[in-house]
Amino acid sequence: MRIIKIFIILGIILLISLCFLILNKNLTGHSINKYSYTKAICNEKNFCQDYEIYCNNGKLENLKPISGAVIQNSDSWKDPRDKETIENFCK
C-alpha cells in the first residue's frame, strides 16, 4: 500500500513538471524566419563593400558593413548581378 502511494505521488510530481515545462515554452504557432547572410553592395563608382544583412520575417532588420571587406573595381567594371534594392534583400 505504501509503494502505491509513493508511485502516485511521483506520478503527480512528474505530471506537474511536464505541464510546467510545456506551458513555459513559447508555443505560439508562428514560425520564426530570422536569418542573416553576406552580400557585396557596390555604388555607382564601382566601390564595393561586404555587408551582413539581417532579416526577420521577410523584413530587413539590420545592414552592417564588414570591416576590411572592400574592393575598388576599375571604372570599366560592370556588375554582372541583377540590380536589387535594399527593400528586396529579405524577400
**21-25, 37-41, 57-61: least confident range:** 21-25
Gap between the Cα atoms of 60 and 80, Å rounded: 24
Buried b (16+ CB within 10 A) or exposed e, 47-66: ebebbebbbeeeeeeeeeee
How many Å apart are CA 71 and CA 79, to the nearest integer? 13
Q: Cα dist. 9→19, 66, 90 in Å?
A: 15, 58, 52
> Between 64 and 7, where is the model more confident?
64
With 80 as the cut, is the pLDDT of residue 25 above it? no
pLDDT value at residue 30 = 61
Task: Using a pLDDT cut of 70, give the percent of the chain over it.
Answer: 86
